[in-house]
Amino acid sequence: MRGAVIHAPGDVRFETLDDPKIVNPTDAVIRTVATCVCGSDLWPYRGIEPVEEPHPMGHEYVGVVEEVGSGVTSVRPGQFVVGSFATSDNTCANCRNGWQSSCLNREFMSTCQADYVRIPNAQGSLVATDEHPAEEFVPSLLAVSDVMGTGWYAALAAEVKPGSTAVVVGDGAVGLCGVIAAKELGAERIIAMSRHASRQELAREFGATDIIAERGEEGVARVKDLTQGIGADSVLECVGTAESMRQALHSARPGGNVGFVGVPHDVAIDGQELFFSHVGLRGGPAPVRGYLPDLIDRVLSGRINPGRVFDLTLPLEQVAEGYRAMDERRAVKTLLMP
Amino acid sequence: MRGAVIHAPGDVRFETLDDPKIVNPTDAVIRTVATCVCGSDLWPYRGIEPVEEPHPMGHEYVGVVEEVGSGVTSVRPGQFVVGSFATSDNTCANCRNGWQSSCLNREFMSTCQADYVRIPNAQGSLVATDEHPAEEFVPSLLAVSDVMGTGWYAALAAEVKPGSTAVVVGDGAVGLCGVIAAKELGAERIIAMSRHASRQELAREFGATDIIAERGEEGVARVKDLTQGIGADSVLECVGTAESMRQALHSARPGGNVGFVGVPHDVAIDGQELFFSHVGLRGGPAPVRGYLPDLIDRVLSGRINPGRVFDLTLPLEQVAEGYRAMDERRAVKTLLMP
């Protein structure tokens, strides 16, 4: 089969690779129907995370089951399935608590920009749709496997409640999905922080009621202007830099909450500042598995359309161009079709 | 009148001071019935916080109203009142949200180890009991004004729920009150981390089901032993050092919560570590005002007896000895009677 391999920052190649096989009885192998490039794939692509040696890429996927191990009974060959970037057995103590992305047997996916993919923990990780979905739903189901599930978690971690005010820091695919999540969870006012016209437009389409283009303390001041001077109930931090975290923490009101889903890079939080802010903080890789049934329903019922975040679709073999377009900010997110 | 003044680390004196007067219409002046020395008073006493110039001390108090400003109608002279270390108007946006200790007009108390005290924001801050309470209740009502209210907040910030497992880091007065709070909020298992026999005993009396004497990663390992290997649902951090914060964060399970009420000194939280822990974190000065009616009821009904944390009672004029005893760990907490 063929798949993407990163060799060095800026150097992603489409290569012939060994076909994946069942290794453990809990594995499945799927034929990829759609995959994509994630904002976090840009960390090694940009050299911010080291590339020690060439390795496959990709952790977002929907596909059709080709083969299952002897321990897998929840899905069967021929079914269309959605998974998560973090696989989970869905039976351990952390999974039972609803924290599947901290599963004691977790394996992060990392080979999904390819024709076929081995899925560890398939029994606990994959959710099959009743039938093969219409083509129009594929991008949104793919989004559910990571960015939409992550935006959903950001909103839950930020404790978005009906009638509340939510701020979304970051206008990438996750931030935009965070707007969808805040809307679905009943936020009355949704403030998207974005300085790009096309992303502002999509944020509004997804439910943003206000747009703030300013950043840093200036952006925080604008949030305060809109929130009785005290800050927002909930803030979704969807970037992962020291600057975005600061902006998020300062935008929340005393007693408010920040949900942070951008993997933090060089972020240290001052204990005393957090203390006096009275802000609650929770982050992490989203426990997408727990949300899959609900989010798949919302997609197939037409209630949400997170697939709109894909503004570039390429054949999988052009994966390198998919990275380039996102790196150069010509695309928010690239959909790849094998 | 007379009151405590700190001149330098280790140098607290009992001096003649001007009688406090009504300055603003929202003030009251109370005659102190009981006050005490707080663990946080030891920061300047030990020179960890600088003492720039001599200043009065103390922020815990119960007393009898002597005089009120023209804007104060909620309490009247002669009433026995309980307050909080942080005064609040109880009407601003933050107060209405239940975060009175982030009141937009907040003033921290700092002159309470004295015969008389001026209370700013008296209208919003003071709660009167129906009648002058029996002497036996005075220590517990005093505890409510700070350590019990703070332990209560720690348990709420750590989201202690019925049937859950709670860990309390710190066996000072606040930690011990945190044990009471965890019990009242329904925790089934309460693990107190303490290496002092007398404090262990009081923790058990307050409801601790398990005691862990080990500290640091060894203490964390013992918590994991008691919690299916994953950590506790809720952790109350009641110290404020980098070491205690680390111990607290590592003791919580993925999806668990740390409530931190020890004012952090040189604490920085690594963003990426917090991210992958899936632990929720909230701290701050406790919004005691909001809890006062409930906690006063619990004390007067005999349901809780946080006054047990006072293991040394001195006349106010011996305040210097009160500090010394706590500094040398001869006392958990010193009650001072004018």
Per residue in A87-102, pLDDT (tens digit) is 999 999 999 999 999 9
- With respect to residue B319, please indicate whether it lies within any of the assigned structural domains: yes
Closest partner residue to B254 (CB to CB) among A94, A157, A275 is A94
Q: How far is CA B320 from the centre of its chain?
A: 20
Q: Please give the pLDDT value at position B181.
A: 98
Domain boundary pick from B252, B283, B314: B283
- B197 touching A (Cβ < 8 Å): no
My answer on whether B114 and B182 are in the same domain is: no
Question: Helix B197-206 to helix B173-184 angle, to the nearest 10 degrees?
Answer: 20
For A227, the closest chain B residue by CA position comes to B93
Global pTM? 0.96
Contact B275 A269 (CB under 8 A): no
Q: Which of B230, B176, B218, B234 is nearest to B200 (CA)?
A: B176
Residue B334 has a pLDDT of 97
| List of chain B residues whose C-beta atoms are within 8 Å of the C-beta of residue A253 | 93-94, 97, 99
CA nearest to B84, candidates B121, B114, B116: B121
Q: What does the alpha-carbon distance between residue B269 and residue B215 come to, in Å, rounded to a whole number?
A: 19
pLDDT value at residue B109: 97
Q: What is the pLDDT of residue A238?
A: 97
Mean pLDDT of A300-318: 98
Side-chain half-sphere of B174: how many Cα atoms within 13 Å? 29
Instruction: Give the count of domains, chain A.
Output: 2
Mutate to test the interface with B, among A40, A272, A279, A288 (most CBs of B within 10 A): A272
**Is residue B143 in some structural domain?**
no
C-alpha dihedral, A77 to A78 to A79 to A84, nearest 10°: 60
Half-sphere exposure of A238 (CA within 13 A, CB side): 34
Going by C-alpha positions, the residue among A190, A168, A143, A308 that lies closest to residue A235 is A168
Place of tokens 């599947």: A100
B116 is a domain residue: yes
pLDDT in tens for each of the 338 residues of chain B? 999 999 999 999 999 999 999 999 999 999 999 999 999 899 999 998 999 999 999 999 999 999 999 999 999 999 999 999 999 999 999 999 999 999 999 999 999 999 999 999 999 999 999 999 999 999 999 999 999 999 999 999 999 999 999 999 999 999 999 999 999 999 999 999 999 999 999 999 999 999 999 999 999 999 999 999 999 999 999 999 999 999 999 999 999 999 999 999 999 999 999 999 999 999 999 999 999 999 999 999 999 999 999 999 999 999 999 999 999 999 999 999 99
B281 with A281: Cβ contact below 8 A:
yes
The conformation of residue B303, written as its DSSP 8-state character, comes to S
| Residues A6 and A128 reside in one and the same domain | yes
Does a structural domain hold residue B296? no
Asked whether the beta carbons of B317 and A317 are under 8 A apart, the reply is no
Q: Flag if A271 and B264 touch (Cβ within 8 Å).
A: yes
Radius of gyration, alpha carbons of chain A: 19
How many CB atoms within 10 Å of residue A241? Answer: 17
Across the interface, which of A93, A253, A284 has its CB nearest the CB of B276? Answer: A284
Specify the pLDDT at position B6.
Answer: 98
A270 with B270: Cβ contact below 8 A: no
Are A65 and A181 within one domain?
A: no
* Cross-strand pairs, B12: B6
Cα–Cα distance measured from residue B97 to residue A253, given in angstroms and rounded to the nearest whole number:
10
Looking at the structure, tell me whether residues B158 and B266 fall in a common domain.
yes
Which chain B residues have a beta carbon less than 8 Å from that of A157? 280
* CATH number of the domain bearing residue A161: 3.40.50.720
Eight-state DSSP code of residue B185: T
Residue B156 lies in a domain: yes
How far is B94 from chain A, CA to nearest CA, in Å?
A: 7
B230 and B312 co-located in one domain:
no
Query: Of A60, A100, A62, A118, nearest to A319 (Cα)?
Result: A60
Res. A306 pLDDT band, cuts 50 70 90: very high
Question: Does one domain contain both A169 and A140?
Answer: no
Residues B207/B179, Cβ–Cβ less than 8 Å: yes
What number is the ipTM of this complex?
A: 0.96
B226 touches chain A (CB under 8 A): no
Distance from CA of B19 to the nearest CA of A (A): 32
CB A291 within 8 A of CB A261: no
Residues 267-286 of A with CB under 8 A from B: 267-272, 274-285
Residues B9, B62: one domain? yes
Last residue of one domain, picked from the residues A283, A307, A327: A283
pLDDT at A180: 98
In a domain, B329, yes or no: yes
Sequence-distant (≥ 6) Cβ neighbours of residue A218 within 8 angstroms: none
Largest CA distance in chain A: 59
A157 touches chain B (CB under 8 A): yes
Closest chain A C-alpha to B58 CA, distance in angstroms:
20
Question: Any chain A CB within 8 A of the CB of B253?
Answer: yes
**Same-domain check for residues B209 and B256:** yes
Burial of B50 by CB count in 10 Å (0-12 exposed, 13-18 middle, 19+ buried)?
A: exposed
CB contact under 8 A, B271 and A269: yes
pLDDT digit string, tens, across residues A132-168: 999 999 999 999 999 999 999 999 999 999 999 999 9
Q: Which of A37, A41, A35 is nearest to A83 (CA)?
A: A35
B157–A253 C-beta distance less than 8 A:
no
Residue A106 shares a structural domain with residue A170: no
Q: What are phi and psi of A114, to 5 degrees?
A: -155, 165
Q: State whether A102 and B255 contact (CB < 8 Å).
A: yes
Give the number of other CB atoms < 10 A from CB of residue B248. Answer: 28
B138 within a domain of the structure (yes/no):
no
Length of chain A: 338
Round to whole Å and give the CA distance between A284 and A163: 25
Tokens of A47: 């050299």
Residues 6+ apart with CB under 8 A from B96: none
Residues near B179 by Cβ (< 8 Å), separated by ≥ 6? B151, B168, B190, B192, B203, B206, B207, B208
Distance between CA B195 and CA A25 in Å, rounded? 48
Same domain, yes or no: B156 and B247: yes
Query: Mean pLDDT, chain A, as a whole number?
Result: 97
Range of the domain at A318: 2-146+287-337
CATH number at residue A132: 3.90.180.10
**Average pLDDT, integer, range A11-40:** 97
pLDDT for the residue numbered A186: 98
Identify all chain B residues contacting A102, using CB atoms and an 8 Å cutoff: 254-255, 278
- Any CB–CB contact under 8 A between A16 and chain B? no
Q: Which of A94, A270, A278 sits opposite B230 (nearest CB)?
A: A94
What is the pLDDT at residue A136? 97
Both A132 and A28 in one domain: the answer is yes
Mind giving me the DSSP string for A137-187? GHHHHHHHTTHHHHHHHHHHHTT--TT-EEEEE--SHHHHHHHHHHHHTT-
Interface mutation target, options B88, B104, B245, B282, chain A, most CBs of A under 10 Å: B282
Is residue A173 within 8 A of residue A147, CB to CB? The reply is yes
- B139 belongs to a structural domain: no
Q: Do A260 and B275 touch (CB under 8 A)?
A: yes
Give the per-residue pLDDT at B185: 98
Single-letter amino acid, residue B282: R
B314 in the same domain as B205: no
Q: What Rg value do the Cα atoms of chain B yield, rounded?
A: 19
Q: What pLDDT sits at residue B125?
A: 97
Name the residue in chain A with its Cα closest to that of B97.
A255
Q: Report residue A199's pLDDT band, with 50, 70 and 90 as the boundaries.
A: very high
Percent of chain A surpassing pLDDT 90: 98
Residues A213 and A194 sit within 8 Å (Cβ to Cβ): yes
